[in-house]
Chains A and B, each alone.
Chain A
Amino acid sequence: MAFDWTFILSVYGLATCFAGAGLGIIWGALPGLSVTMAMALLVGLTYTMPASLSIIFMIAVWTGAEFGGAISAILLNMPGTPSAVPTQLAGYPLAKRGEGGLAIGTALTFSMLGNWAGLFVLLLLAPVMIALALNFSSWEMFLLVTLGISISGSLTSGERPVKGWAMGCLGMLISMVGKDLIHGVDRFTFNISFFNAGIHYLPILIGLFGLAEALKVLNSSTPKSIPAKMGRLLPPLSFVMKYWQSALRSSAVGTFIGAIPGVGANIASYVSYSLGEQFTGRRFSRGDFEGVVCSEVANNANIGGGLLPTITLGIPGNSSSALIIASLALHGVVLGPTIESDQPGFLLFLYVALLLANIFMYLSALALIRPSIYLLSMPAGVVMPSVLMFCLIGTFAASYSSFDVAVMFVAGIIGFILNRQNYPFAPLVLGALLGPTADENLRRSILVNEGHYVDMLLRPIGLVLMIVIIWSIYYGITRSTKTARRPYSTDI
């Protein structure tokens, strides 16, 4: 399978990129439908596409949906995606003052700048990370996966990291079902033939981010009124000059948080927003373009950051990049340090796809902002059944297996129940995705280092990783203990 970047410039490539960005914007704008949900439902559609088209489509959907959330957040006071909540806080008061169009234009322009920043960091650091990762032994790979899941558990489960870690363990246990890769022994199959091939993570992803999320927002209210006037759309160039410091800071925050396994755009936009308030000394919630800039730059820079560990280590930076892995896995493309030797030209292809997706996101947004506002008035009673239908069709299309649909269904119901108790999904997804890698590498390192376990434990990279794992667990426990001492706690 070859990845030739010039293919993106073909009619098929450009049309797919445009369609993906447009779909992403509309999906992101619909209140309650998250970016990950869009990608989870659309990943099934990529099965019939060639791998190259599939990656263009998914990247374009991701880029479009990250921005799309800002439209409803600013105009309707209903965030299209969870990462658009800070945009809503700073942007909706602007819309009430009649500056909604300019606020959306600012969100769009700075979303694009955020994407550039993420791409720049990806370009700069991906070769370095790959060179570093190629020196990793099985033991270090095992520790890296453990680190990803422990950090994800610590940072995504609010005040109770034990819940995040429990989800990580559960995800890894689910991934153990099926034939063992080293000895070929059946594990947890209970003589049921469906389990022999294991439980694939894609139906779990669609169940958790599609079905469970749809059930969660089933009764969400439909916007009553849509502002008649939006005013001017594109911001003047002086805006870029005025807010460059915030944009730069938010780019760094978004990219860095994106690169932390399992931590997504939601946290990036919150952190960037509150940092922006601290730096400027202003309350953005009174209506402030700078607040919109901070939030939008961060959640779009998160794309490049999220892709960094995804393509170089095979460890998803966030749930959306887990879906990029899933989409490519449908075509037999495995991401990791050997990606350039396995799939020559892949990195350049990805960079060009990101670049074009960003440009198309901008162009599609200019064309779609006004029409998409009318789509926002669609009642949840129509949108949500369609989402449920897409969950079923998407899962079926990916494998033509009713067993996978059943897995998706069970994952969705369990996910819905767990979500009500604030159990995070990101560590579970990471566990389900990376469980086999951790298992294989742990056993291989024991086999290779038999009798020399002390040497294995004292390898410098491994030592650093172990210290970071211990720190992340310690951090989670201390944060949890501090919260427990407080009489009441509130989730944001």
Chain B
Amino acid sequence: MANDTRSTAHHSISELVTGICLIIVSASFGFHSLVMERPGGWGTAPGLMPLILSIALFLLAVTICFSTIKGRIQPAKQTSQVGSIAQTLNDTHQHFGQAIKAACVTGLFYFVLLDLMPFEVAAILFYLAMTYLFWSSASLVRRLMVSIILPLVITIVFQVVLHMPLPGSGSLLEHFIYTIQR
């Protein structure tokens, strides 16, 4: 019962935070719509539609916040699932942490590694990190094999078969093809 209350409270807070974020977003859009220039009056003003939408979003966000505060609706679907609630709560936190890690690795791969090294090398590092995080049951050799083979397959498929450029500062395969063609 205590865990049930904790889970509900946790989700109520996160719903409230989302509701407040939506209020801020709508207020910000609304303010900028009001100060936007109106060449042909309000009827055809560029800010008309955004203003209407901002007001609607503001009211909806306030409704979400109020209904969460009043606790009229059971907010979390997790609490209604079958199984141990303590386990569910633990899994939810663990999953959120894992997702954050995955997002960080992906961001690091695209915004940092791809600028520093060829696509294949960056992709191998990306796969190594991901398999380390999410495929811990596999042996190091298997993880290494997957981390090397998959980036190579992706590079060949995109550059040779589909003729599509890969993001970043170029790839070893691209460089190789260019050298051969010269």
Q: DSSP class of A's interface residues: helix, strand, loop or mixed? A: helix
Q: B64's closest neighbor in chain A, by CB?
A: A162
Report the minimum CB–CB distance from B81 to chain A (whole Å). Answer: 9
B11, B32, B45, B150: which contacts A386 (Cβ < 8 A)? B150
Interface residues of A in 354-386 (CB under 8 A from B): 379-382, 384-386
A488→B72 CA distance, assembly (Å):
10
B14, B29, B130, B134: which contacts A219 (Cβ < 8 A)? B134
Q: Mark A301-316, 1 if CB is under 8 A from B, else 0.
A: 0000000000000000
A159→B162 CA distance, assembly (Å):
44
Q: Are B44 and A187 in contact, CB atoms less than 8 angstroms apart?
A: no
Q: Are A405 and B134 in contact, CB atoms less than 8 angstroms apart?
A: no
| Contact (A170, B25) CB under 8 Å given A418-B18, A421-B14, A421-B15 | yes
Report the minimum CB–CB distance from B120 to chain A (whole Å). Answer: 12
Q: Are B44 and A447 in contact, CB atoms less than 8 angstroms apart?
A: yes
Q: Mark B26-57, 1 if CB is under 8 A from A, else 0.
A: 10010010001101100111111110011011
Q: A189's closest neighbor in chain B, by CB?
A: B32
Report the minimum CB–CB distance from A416 to chain B (whole Å). Answer: 6
Q: Are B126 and A389 in contact, CB atoms less than 8 angstroms apart?
A: yes
- CB of A188 within 8 A of chain B? yes
Report the minimum CB–CB distance from B77 to chain A (whole Å). Answer: 4
A219→B64 CA distance, assembly (Å):
30
Q: Are A183 and B44 in contact, CB atoms less than 8 angstroms apart?
A: yes
Chain B interface residue number, banded: 35 or more
Q: Are B54 and A385 in contact, CB atoms less than 8 angstroms apart?
A: no
A166 contact set on B, CB distance < 8 A: 22, 57, 60-61, 64
Q: DSSP class of B's interface residues: helix, strand, loop or mixed? A: helix
Chain A interface residue number, banded: 35 or more
Q: Are A484 and B73 in contact, CB atoms less than 8 angstroms apart?
A: yes
Interface residues of A in 384-438 (CB under 8 A from B): 384-386, 388-389, 392-393, 396-397, 400, 402, 405-406, 409, 412-413, 416-418, 420-423, 435, 438
Q: Are A488 and B167 in contact, CB atoms less than 8 angstroms apart?
A: no
B126 contact set on A, CB distance < 8 A: 385, 389
A418→B63 CA distance, assembly (Å):
17
B61 contact set on A, CB distance < 8 A: 166
A402, A412, A484, A489: which contacts B103 (Cβ < 8 A)? A412
B109 contact set on A, CB distance < 8 A: 392
- CB of A180 within 8 A of chain B? yes
- CB of A443 within 8 A of chain B? yes
- CB of A455 within 8 A of chain B? no
A450→B107 CA distance, assembly (Å):
50
B165 contact set on A, CB distance < 8 A: 396-397, 400
Q: Are B49 and A176 in contact, CB atoms less than 8 angstroms apart?
A: yes
Report the minimum CB–CB distance from B124 to chain A (whole Å). Answer: 12
| Contact (A182, B46) CB under 8 Å given A218-B98, A490-B80 | yes
| Contact (A396, B77) CB under 8 Å given A48-B162, A218-B98, A447-B44 | no
B136 contact set on A, CB distance < 8 A: 381
- CB of A45 within 8 A of chain B? yes
Q: Are A162 and B43 in contact, CB atoms less than 8 angstroms apart?
A: no
Q: Are B29 and A183 in contact, CB atoms less than 8 angstroms apart?
A: no
Q: Are B123 and A389 in contact, CB atoms less than 8 angstroms apart?
A: yes
- CB of A483 within 8 A of chain B? yes
Report the minimum CB–CB distance from A428 to chain B (whole Å). Answer: 12
Report the minimum CB–CB distance from A251 to chain B (whole Å). Answer: 31
A400 contact set on B, CB distance < 8 A: 165
Q: Are B134 and A385 in contact, CB atoms less than 8 angstroms apart?
A: yes
Q: Mark A36-59, 1 if CB is under 8 A from B, else 0.
A: 000000000101100000000000
Q: Are B40 and A183 in contact, CB atoms less than 8 angstroms apart?
A: yes
Output the residue of B37, B110, B111, B146 with the most chain A CB within 10 A.
Answer: B110
Q: Are B49 and A442 in contact, CB atoms less than 8 angstroms apart?
A: yes
Q: Are A413 and B103 in contact, CB atoms less than 8 angstroms apart?
A: yes
Interface residues of A in 211-250 (CB under 8 A from B): 211, 214-216, 218-219
Q: Are B167 and A170 in contact, CB atoms less than 8 angstroms apart?
A: no
Q: Are A409 and B110 in contact, CB atoms less than 8 angstroms apart?
A: yes
| Contact (A393, B102) CB under 8 Å given A182-B44, A182-B46, A442-B48 | no
- CB of A169 within 8 A of chain B? yes
A461 contact set on B, CB distance < 8 A: none
23 contacts between A and B (CB under 8 A): A165-B60, A169-B56, A172-B49, A176-B29, A182-B44, A183-B44, A185-B39, A187-B46, A187-B47, A214-B102, A215-B102, A216-B99, A218-B102, A381-B133, A385-B130, A400-B165, A405-B167, A418-B18, A439-B49, A443-B45, A443-B48, A489-B73, A491-B80
B residues adjacent to A (C-beta < 8 A) = 11, 14-15, 18, 22, 25-26, 29, 32, 36-37, 39-40, 43-50, 53-54, 56-57, 60-61, 63-64, 67, 72-75, 77, 80, 94-96, 98-99, 102-103, 106-107, 109-111, 123, 126-127, 130-131, 133-138, 146, 150, 154, 158, 162-167
Q: Beyond the given A392-B110, A443-B45, could you list 17 further A-B residue pairs with CB under 8 A, ordered by the A residue number? A: A48-B163, A173-B29, A173-B50, A173-B54, A176-B53, A182-B46, A183-B39, A381-B133, A381-B135, A382-B131, A382-B135, A385-B126, A385-B127, A386-B154, A421-B14, A439-B49, A484-B67
